[in-house]
Structure 1
Amino acid sequence: MHPDKFRRLLAAALAVPLVALAALGLFFAVLLHYDARAHEKLNKIDTVVTATEQLQDLIGTQEALARRHEIAGGAAQQSALVPLHTITRIRMAELQKMALGDPRADALLETLNDQYLLWMGWAQETLAGKTFGLTIAQNDARGWQQMSSIHETLRELLDLEHERRERQAAAIASFKRHTIEAIALSALLLGLLLATLTRQSLTRVSRSYRKALNEQERISGELARSRQWLQTTLESIGEGVLCCDAEGRVTFVNATAARLTGWQAAEAMGRAAQDVFVIVDETSRRPREHFWSADHVDALLASWSGQSLLLGRDGSECLVDHTASCIQGPGNEFAGMVLVFRDVTDRLRTERALQTTEKLAVAGRLAASIAHEIHNPLDAIANLHYLIETEEDPQLQREHLKMAKQELARTIQITRTMLSLYRESEHPVPVIMSELTQGVLLLLERRAMQQNITVEQNYEGHCRIEGFPAELRQVMTNVLVNAMDAAGPGGRIQVRIEDQSAEELRGSGVLIRVVDSGPGLSGDTGNRLFKPFFTTKGEAGTGLGLWVSLGIVQKHGGSIRIYNSCESSLPGACVEIYLPARVLQLGIHRLVSEEVHPPAMV
């Protein structure tokens, strides 16, 4: 299960009890609110009862003062009655402001107020000695009757408030009883609801967790099997594999890498990669420069790629082709590197033997032509020497001597060209391709004359590059010999060399085109021309000429391709060679790999 879905299920399982508890808490808050209001109302009733009883006591005190006028006289009671009257009026007003909320209680308060004012008028008149024609007994009877009405009203008011209090107390008791029952019932229902929902939620969470756990176990098993399969594969392949982390520490070494480097896997683990994989330049034996920096991954990979001499821990040495690839982490950050290398010592030895064989084959093909080219001027020199000895005329002797020198110079030029074909420089030197091609054509001149082949030459520009002259002569010899063989007796060959300006995909250099008048390429021949040992000449060919030429051109950083010409006068094959103005020095022993590209664009 996806982690987000699992988290949602877990959140839902926890949210249900929280929501239920919140609802229960809200229900309890409402109950407490109603209970507080009921007690507030009960307290208000108690306050009214207390105020009524205090009012009753004040009126009773005033009644007692009014009764004493017979003994003490009216003046003293009248002075004492005034403040009590004021307090009574204040208490009466406070009681009326309490908003009892019962029409009967409000009516009783109005009646009580009127009765009290009426009695207070009687008491003041009586204490002042005014009876209005009534006898003392009649006057007292009137006062006592008024006071009896006041007491009756107060008793009714108190009875009414006591009755209200009992009803409110009973309501509170009933509310509490129902509240307890509601709480118990809601707790029971909530418990059942929570138990049911929680059980369902936990069941889903548990099922999801178990499913996720099973999926994780399945993935872990697949990863373990994949890791075992990968390790077995890496251990069984014939190429060395060495893995490093982001700090350049070795994390994996397969059996081939352990054999070539001399480091066992257990010993190499955790060591710096440059201490285990020690490579130097093949010719200069200088250590390959490389630096470990995750900020410059491209430069790091380039410094660990190429062909070098591997120095084993046990002192062994072997030539290896090695490449490096970057390992990226989850955030595409640099997490390490994989080095893949293989021993190419035997392959290079075989390739060099094939190159030597091809050079010998080229020498063999040129031997007859060179013998004729050298024999003719030497024969002419011998004849001229005889004429010089027998000639007595000094003028004729000088002419014969001049002709002998010309033939001798031609012989020297042929021999120098022959020697330079196999004299190889250690570093690229300036080469004028037009002069180099003319030298090769000089060696092939006898062969062209025997087959009556016309060679057209067209040179434009300086045609100057940097390269290895001996190897370039070998390329031009192979191409021109193939063109002569394709053109056949009476055929025609056109050689064009021109300066090439810089383009988008390649720099400036020289473009060479050799076109013949032969039948051209047929079928899938063009796709197989650059493969070793493939030849269309039968027993007369070795099948190595174009393969070696391809390697030499690629060594110079150029390209070679063969296609059928579109010219009506020369409908045969066209060999197009591009050579850059400057060649990267890779070492004279550096050879191309076995993989070759199709001739459509090499």
Structure 2
Amino acid sequence: MHPDKFRRLLAAALAVPLVALAALGLFFAVLLHYDARAHGELNQIDNVVTATEQMQDLIGTQEALARRHEIAGGAAQQSALAPLHTITRIRMAELQKMALGDPRADALLETLNDQYLLWMGWAQETLAGKTFGLTIAQNDARGWQQMSAIHKTLRELLNLEHARRERQAAAIARFKRHTIEAIALSALLLGLLLATLTRQSLTRVSRSYRKALDEQERISGELARSRQRLQTTLESIGEGVLCCDAEGRVTFVNATAAKLTGWSTAEAIGQAAQDVFVIVEESSRRPREHLWSAEAVHALLASWSGQSLLLGRDGSEYLVDHSASPLQGAERQFAGMVLVFRDVTDRLRTERALQTTEKLAVAGRLAASIAHEIHNPLDAIANLHYLIETEEDPQLQREHLKMAKQELARTIQITRTMLSLYRESEHPVPVIMSELTQGVLLLLERRALQQNITVEQSYEGHCRIEGFPAELRQVMTNVLVNAMDAAGQGGRIQVRIEDQSAEELRGSGVLIRVVDSGPGLSSDTGNRLFKPFFTTKGEAGTGLGLWVSLGIVQKHGGSIRIYNSCESSLPGACVEIYLPARVLQLGANRLVSEEVHSAAMV
């Protein structure tokens, strides 16, 4: 199970009791709210009762003052009654402002207010001596009747409020009893609900956890099997694999790497990578400089990639192609490097043998033409030598001698051009491609004449580069021979060489175009031209010419492509070769075995 899903299940299991407790808390809050509201109403009733009793006392006091007017005099009692009347009016107004909430109580309060005002009028008139023709007894009876009505109304109001208070108290008592019962029932139900839901949730969590453990065990088993398969694969492949950490310490070597480096796995682990994988340049045997910097990963990988001579710990030497790839950590930071290398000694020797075979094949194809080209000037020299011996005129002898020297110089030029196909320098040297191409055309001159092929030449600029002349002559020989074969009898070939200025994707150099008047390329042929042993000439071709030429051009850091020409006068194939002014990369090492040298000399 995914960790996020497991966390969601666990959160759901814990959320159920929390939600239930929150609901119970909300229920308790509602109960407390209603309890506080009920007690508020009870307190309000008590305030009304207290205010009513205070009103009853004030009215009783005023009644007593009104009855003493015979003893103290009306004026004195009237002055004492005035503030009590004011206080009574204030208390009456406060009592009326209290929201009694009972229509009967409100009606009694209105009646009380009217009765009090009526009695207060009687009291003030009596204290002022106004009886309106009534006797004292009749006037007192009138006041007594009014006061009795006030007291009756006060008693009814108090009885009504006391009854309300008893009902409210009884309601509060019932509410508390019901609240206790509801709390007990809610607790019981909540406990049962929590127990059931928690059990279900924990059961789901337990099952999910068990499933997650089983899944983890399965994944661990698959990882172990995958690791074993990977280990077996790495141990079985024919390429060496060396892994190191961010500090450049070896963490893994497979069997092939251990064999080529001469270090066993146990000995190599923990060693510095440059101490285990010791490489030098093949030609100069100069050690390769290894840059180890986790901050400059691209430079690090570039310094560990290429083709070099591997020096084994046991003294063995291997030509290896090697490349490096970075390892990334959890946060995509540099965590190390994987170095993959393969022994290419036999393959390079085979390729060089094929290249030498192609050279010999070219020489064989040119042998008849070269023999004819050498025979003609030698025959002319022999005839001129006879004329010189028989001629007595010194002037004619000098002319014959001059003609013999010219024929001899032509023979020397042909032989030098032929030998230059095999003589090679160890390092790039200045080459003028126009002169080199003219020398190749000199060797192919008789072949062009036999097939009546017209060769048009165009050279623009200095046409100077750095390279290996013998290999470049081999390329031009292959291209020109293919063009003559494609042009056929009476055909036409155009050779254009011009300086190429620097562009965005490549530097300055020389651009060579060889166009023939042949039938051009088919789509199937164009895709297979540079594959070894593919030929369109049947038994007459080896199928190695263009393959070798591609390797030589790439070795010089250039490019070669073949496409059908768009010119109406030359509708055949166009071979376009770009060679940089300086050799950008020596893609193939120049160490050739003694056996290959011997075969070339033969």
What secondary structure sits across from 1:595 in the alignment?
helix
Give the Å deviation of 1:100: 3.2
Asked whether the equivalents of residues 240 and 257 of structure 1 are also in contact (C-alpha less than 8 Å), the reply is yes
Alpha-carbon spacing, 1:81–1:577, altered in 2? closer, same or farther (3 Å) = closer
Alpha-carbon spacing, 1:152–1:502, altered in 2? closer, same or farther (3 Å) = closer
Give the Å deviation of 1:52: 3.1
What secondary structure sits across from 1:588 in the alignment?
coil
What secondary structure sits across from 2:388 in the alignment?
helix
Deviation digits for residues 117-158 of structure 1 (CA, Å, limit 9, x no counterpart): 666677778888998998888877776666555544443333
Choose 4-13 or 179-188, whichever is displaced more: 4-13
What secondary structure sits across from 1:321 in the alignment?
strand
Alpha-carbon spacing, 1:23–1:446, altered in 2? closer, same or farther (3 Å) = closer
Deviation digits for residues 90-139 of structure 1 (CA, Å, limit 9, x no counterpart): 44444444343434444444555566566667777888899899888887
Percent identity of equivalent pairs = 93
Give the Å deviation of 1:321: 0.6
Give the Å deviation of 1:237: 0.7
Choose 110-119 or 482-491, whichever is displaced more: 482-491
Give the Å deviation of 1:261: 3.0
Give the Å deviation of 1:485: 7.9
Asked whether the equivalents of residues 283 and 590 of structure 2 are also in contact (C-alpha less than 8 Å), the reply is no
What secondary structure sits across from 1:512 in the alignment?
strand
**Distance in 2 (alpha carbons) for counterparts of 1:120 and 1:448:** 154
**Distance in 2 (alpha carbons) for counterparts of 1:203 and 1:101:** 57
Give the Å deviation of 1:22: 3.6
Choose 360-369 or 309-318, whichever is displaced more: 360-369
Alpha-carbon spacing, 1:148–1:285, altered in 2? closer, same or farther (3 Å) = same
**Distance in 2 (alpha carbons) for counterparts of 1:310 and 1:397:** 66
- Provide the residue aligned with 1:477 in structure 2: 477
Give the Å deviation of 1:419: 3.5
Matched, 1:316 2:326: no
Deviation digits for residues 168-217 of structure 1 (CA, Å, limit 9, x no counterpart): 11121122222222333333344444444444445445544544554444
**Distance in 1 (alpha carbons) for counterparts of 2:265 and 2:454:** 66
Asked whether the equivalents of residues 527 and 598 of structure 1 are also in contact (C-alpha less than 8 Å), the reply is no
Give the Å deviation of 1:318: 2.4
How many residues are paired up?
A: 602
**Distance in 1 (alpha carbons) for counterparts of 2:582 and 2:158:** 125
Alpha-carbon spacing, 1:405–1:18, altered in 2? closer, same or farther (3 Å) = same
What secondary structure sits across from 1:192 in the alignment?
helix
- Provide the residue aligned with 1:382 in structure 2: 382
Give the Å deviation of 1:307: 0.8
**Distance in 2 (alpha carbons) for counterparts of 1:132 and 1:447:** 169
What secondary structure sits across from 1:599 in the alignment?
helix
What secondary structure sits across from 2:595 in the alignment?
coil
Choose 537-546 or 208-217, whichever is displaced more: 537-546
Choose 261-270 or 248-257, whichever is displaced more: 261-270
Matched, 1:282 2:282: yes
Give the Å deviation of 1:341: 0.8
Give the Å deviation of 1:308: 1.4
Deviation digits for residues 549-588 of structure 1 (CA, Å, limit 9, x no counterpart): 4432332334556789999999998866554454325177
Give the Å deviation of 1:282: 2.0
**Distance in 1 (alpha carbons) for counterparts of 2:139 and 2:572:** 163
**Distance in 1 (alpha carbons) for counterparts of 2:463 and 2:165:** 126
Asked whether the equivalents of residues 530 and 598 of structure 1 are also in contact (C-alpha less than 8 Å), the reply is no
Give the Å deviation of 1:349: 3.2
Give the Å deviation of 1:319: 1.8
Choose 490-499 or 473-482, whichever is displaced more: 490-499
**Distance in 2 (alpha carbons) for counterparts of 1:530 and 1:297:** 35
What secondary structure sits across from 2:193 in the alignment?
helix
Alpha-carbon spacing, 1:238–1:47, altered in 2? closer, same or farther (3 Å) = same
Give the Å deviation of 1:233: 0.7
Alpha-carbon spacing, 1:230–1:137, altered in 2? closer, same or farther (3 Å) = same
Unaligned 5+ runs, structure 2: none
Alpha-carbon spacing, 1:226–1:134, altered in 2? closer, same or farther (3 Å) = same
What secondary structure sits across from 1:139 in the alignment?
helix
Give the Å deviation of 1:239: 0.5
Alpha-carbon spacing, 1:67–1:414, altered in 2? closer, same or farther (3 Å) = closer
**Distance in 2 (alpha carbons) for counterparts of 1:601 and 1:573:** 35
**Distance in 2 (alpha carbons) for counterparts of 1:569 and 1:103:** 124
Give the Å deviation of 1:397: 2.8
Asked whether the equivalents of residues 465 and 582 of structure 2 are also in contact (C-alpha less than 8 Å), the reply is yes
- Provide the residue aligned with 1:527 in structure 2: 527
Asked whether the equivalents of residues 555 and 588 of structure 2 are also in contact (C-alpha less than 8 Å), the reply is no
Deviation digits for residues 240-297 of structure 1 (CA, Å, limit 9, x no counterpart): 1123455655443222223323444455445554454333322233443554556665
Asked whether the equivalents of residues 356 and 600 of structure 2 are also in contact (C-alpha less than 8 Å), the reply is no
Choose 364-373 or 219-228, whichever is displaced more: 364-373
Alpha-carbon spacing, 1:401–1:176, altered in 2? closer, same or farther (3 Å) = same
Alpha-carbon spacing, 1:139–1:516, altered in 2? closer, same or farther (3 Å) = closer
What secondary structure sits across from 2:425 in the alignment?
coil
Deviation digits for residues 57-98 of structure 1 (CA, Å, limit 9, x no counterpart): 445555666777888888887776665555555444444443
Asked whether the equivalents of residues 321 and 341 of structure 2 are also in contact (C-alpha less than 8 Å), the reply is yes
Choose 226-235 or 316-325, whichever is displaced more: 316-325
Matched, 1:102 2:93: no
**Distance in 1 (alpha carbons) for counterparts of 2:12 and 2:600:** 67
Asked whether the equivalents of residues 452 and 491 of structure 1 are also in contact (C-alpha less than 8 Å), the reply is yes
Asked whether the equivalents of residues 562 and 600 of structure 1 are also in contact (C-alpha less than 8 Å), the reply is no
Asked whether the equivalents of residues 78 and 127 of structure 1 are also in contact (C-alpha less than 8 Å), the reply is yes
**Distance in 1 (alpha carbons) for counterparts of 2:55 and 2:600:** 126
- Provide the residue aligned with 1:121 in structure 2: 121
Deviation digits for residues 507-540 of structure 1 (CA, Å, limit 9, x no counterpart): 6655656688999999988877755567788998
Alpha-carbon spacing, 1:588–1:65, altered in 2? closer, same or farther (3 Å) = closer
Alpha-carbon spacing, 1:99–1:583, altered in 2? closer, same or farther (3 Å) = closer
Asked whether the equivalents of residues 486 and 516 of structure 1 are also in contact (C-alpha less than 8 Å), the reply is yes
Give the Å deviation of 1:491: 9.2
- Provide the residue aligned with 1:24 in structure 2: 24
Alpha-carbon spacing, 1:3–1:515, altered in 2? closer, same or farther (3 Å) = same
Alpha-carbon spacing, 1:321–1:593, altered in 2? closer, same or farther (3 Å) = farther
Choose 322-331 or 77-86, whichever is displaced more: 77-86
Choose 142-151 or 46-55, whichever is displaced more: 142-151
What secondary structure sits across from 1:596 in the alignment?
helix
- Provide the residue aligned with 2:492 in structure 1: 492
Choose 254-263 or 573-582, whichever is displaced more: 573-582
Choose 469-478 or 134-143, whichever is displaced more: 134-143
Give the Å deviation of 1:37: 2.2
Give the Å deviation of 1:591: 8.8
Alpha-carbon spacing, 1:243–1:597, altered in 2? closer, same or farther (3 Å) = farther
Alpha-carbon spacing, 1:405–1:40, altered in 2? closer, same or farther (3 Å) = closer
**Distance in 1 (alpha carbons) for counterparts of 2:557 and 2:94:** 116
**Distance in 2 (alpha carbons) for counterparts of 1:439 and 1:106:** 136
Alpha-carbon spacing, 1:92–1:262, altered in 2? closer, same or farther (3 Å) = same
Alpha-carbon spacing, 1:580–1:596, altered in 2? closer, same or farther (3 Å) = farther
- TM-score, normalised to structure 2, is 0.76
Give the Å deviation of 1:320: 1.0
What secondary structure sits across from 1:243 in the alignment?
strand
**Distance in 1 (alpha carbons) for counterparts of 2:246 and 2:376:** 71
Asked whether the equivalents of residues 559 and 578 of structure 1 are also in contact (C-alpha less than 8 Å), the reply is yes
Asked whether the equivalents of residues 562 and 575 of structure 1 are also in contact (C-alpha less than 8 Å), the reply is yes
Alpha-carbon spacing, 1:72–1:392, altered in 2? closer, same or farther (3 Å) = closer
**Distance in 1 (alpha carbons) for counterparts of 2:596 and 2:128:** 146
Choose 91-100 or 565-574, whichever is displaced more: 565-574
Deviation digits for residues 422-470 of structure 1 (CA, Å, limit 9, x no counterpart): 2212333333334324434444567778899887767676554432112
Choose 568-577 or 34-43, whichever is displaced more: 568-577
- Provide the residue aligned with 2:211 in structure 1: 211
Alpha-carbon spacing, 1:143–1:164, altered in 2? closer, same or farther (3 Å) = same
